[in-house]
Amino acid sequence: MANVGGASRIPAEERLFSLVLALLATDAGLTKTDILSTVQGYRQKFSRSGDNANLERQFERDKDDIRDLGVPLETIDSPGHAGDNHNLRYRIPRGAYELPTDIRFSPEETTLLNLAAMVWREGSLSAESRRAILKLRSLGVTTTEPVLGYAPRVRVREAAFDPLGTALERRQVVRFGYLKPGESEARVRTVEPRALVQHQGRWHLFATDQSTSTTKTFLLRRIVTQVSTLATTFAPSAPGQADLALSELETVWNSNSAVVQVDEGTDAATRLGKRRGATVPGAGTLNLHYSDLNIFADELAGYGPEALVISPPELRDAVRARLERTAADHG
């Protein structure tokens, strides 16, 4: 029982890393029994005389995971046992896995790559970051280790991100409640995910709405229910869905502009003046682009009297309504 408890505390990433190292180290390949009885994360649970069915299922899932991470895992027949599935051998051909000979990283560069992957491990690049870390470690690339002890963990997405990302990979239809500004109740949307993109610091889902058969962009922060994954799947998307989504969002951003008067030397002047695309037509005045009127109104209202919207009128009214509501809430 002690061994089983110890094995349960071994992180999945460590088990996958150990598996990759073991399969890289053999030219002839390892049988399933070889792997389960010797590799870290499996051997702690392996029983030579007992039932290893659960462990074998874990190995099958791990094989899929490392292949999804881009690792070229091969299955070959054992010598003298051609066609015998019980004696199949597994290996990772080093030549197909190693970095090209003309690519080299210094210890400092490798450290920065590790830090970037660790920061993004909870975000949209989760699979890519795991692949990068796994490959750098398994190839034995030297790093400046002390810095890695201070690697940040940044949570870069809303709760809907993970289930949407999984559904996107598996091409599964999803359903969720979506609350648009000005509406009192969320509307249920059933969509086919096409891409998850970040624009202006916010995550968006680009998807085909099944009720209208048109593509729409949904702001993740407005998904107010759990994302339900349906059994229905859909055909693969055409290439370039993420680029299409970002292009549409950029078009919206360019078409929406505001003139905002700011008090010089204030937080509003400093932060708004550094927004992408901000221009200064006159002293104390900024021309600013925005993607979503309500989100921008929330931001501007946060500056209080430091920022005054000159145009457009609908943005000015939205900011005023927020300030009046705040004043009423505080008596």
CB of 43 closer than 8 Å to CB of 22 = no
User: What's the mean pLDDT when you consider all of the chain?
Assistant: 82
Residues 304-327: tens digit of each pLDDT: 999 999 999 999 999 999 999 998
Domains, the chain: 2-97 (1.10.10), 107-148 (no CATH), 167-251 (2.30.30), 256-329 (no CATH)
Task: State pTM to two decimals.
Answer: 0.56
In terms of Cα–Cα distance, which of 160, 155, 189, 157 is closest to 173? Answer: 189
Residue 177 pairs in a beta bridge with 188
**Inter-CA distances, 74 with 22, 66, 69, 133, 135, Å:** 13, 11, 14, 21, 17
Residues 107-162: tens digit of each pLDDT: 676 666 666 555 554 444 445 545 555 555 555 544 444 333 334 444 456 889 98
Give the pLDDT confidence score for residue 123 in this predicted structure: 45
What letters, b where the CB count within 10 A reaches 16 and e where it falls short, cover 158-173? Answer: eebbebbbebbeeebb
In terms of Cα–Cα distance, which of 220, 114, 113 is closest to 168? Answer: 220
Q: Which residues contact 77 (CB under 8 A, 6 or more apart)?
A: 83, 84, 87, 88, 89
State the residue for tokens 């003139």.
259
Give the pLDDT confidence score for residue 22 in this predicted structure: 85
CA within 13 Å, CB half, 208: 15
Rg (CA), the chain: 26
Give the pLDDT confidence score for residue 311 in this predicted structure: 96
Dump the DSSP string for 151-165: ------S-TTHHHHH
Give 223's DSSP letter.
Answer: B
Q: Which residues contact 86 (CB under 8 A, 6 or more apart)?
A: none
Give the pLDDT confidence score for residue 143 in this predicted structure: 45
The rounded average pLDDT for each run of 10 residues, N- to C-terminus, in the chain (331 residues) is 46 80 84 88 85 88 81 81 74 74 67 58 48 55 42 60 90 96 92 92 92 95 95 90 94 96 92 93 94 94 95 97 91 71
Distance in angstroms (rounded) separating the CA atoms of residues 30 and 78: 9
